Structure 1
Amino acid sequence: MGYCVELVRFTVAESDVDTFLERRQEAIKEVKAAHPALWSVPLCSRRDDGTWVDVWIYESKEAADAANADAENLPRFLAMAELLDDIEIEATDMPERAVSPL
């Protein structure tokens, strides 16, 4: 059984970047508290074209689906999401053996 990796692509107005990054930290804490199967949120970066990529990893697709279905009940997550435009989410399967040990 593998992990579910959500690759989230979006844009953020330049004037909102600092606020987005602050709200993102609060959103991660809130989602993790409500959905302990959120395994990791290891990457958020801005691409050369100005779009962003954020990676959310859940223990399973079912766990990711449950967290997504609960988004309307997570005010800190919604506060972060309101700053995002042009959102695209791609859910992928990451086999356990693909996890890189450090």
Structure 2
Amino acid sequence: MSYCAELVTFTLSTSNEEFFALRKAAITEVKAAHPKLLSVPFCAKRADGSWVDLWIYESKEAADAANADAANLPEFMKMFAVIDGVDIEVTECPESAVSPLA
């Protein structure tokens, strides 16, 4: 089995605080609608002012299903409305490459 990790880069058109609140609501909504969303472990600001957000799904098919349903997820769409220049790099991670924390 391979997990699917989406590395999403973007810039913000709102305050960090508002974005974080919108992001939290979006993650909750996506997870409820698409339980194969496994983790959204971090969001970090880069030196150039852009952001990177990591979304991990059970599979590429699960990620594709969630992305196809985005327009039906109002909390996700609220978050999406405050980000610009979105780029999504889709990667696959073999299960054997995951290192559990001790």
Under TM normalisation by the shorter chain, which class is it? over 0.9
Q: Which residue of 2 aligns with 1:20?
A: 19
Other-structure match for 1:85: 84
Instruction: In structure 1, give the amino acid aligned to 2:82.
Output: L
Normalised by the size of structure 2, how large is the TM-score?
Answer: 0.96
Equivalent-residue separation in structure 1 for 2:53 and 2:99 (angstroms): 19
- Contact 1:16 1:83 (C-alpha < 8 Å) held by counterparts: no
Identical-pair percentage: 61
Q: Encode CA deviations 1:25-80: one digit per residue, 9 max, x unaligned.
A: 00000000000000110110000100000000000000000000000000000000
User: Post-superposition shift, 1:98?
Assistant: 1.5
SS in 1 for 2:85: strand
Q: Which consecutive segments of 4 or more residues in structure 1 shift more than 4 A?
A: none
Structure 1 length normalisation: TM-score?
0.96
What is residue 5 of structure 1 aligned with on the other side?
5
| SS of residue matched to 1:11 | strand
In 1, the alpha carbon distance for the partners of 2:7 and 2:33 equals 20
Q: 1:100 Cα shift? A: 1.4
* Superposed CA RMSD: 0.8
Q: Which runs of 5+ in 2 are unaligned?
A: none
Residue in 1 aligned with 2:34? 35
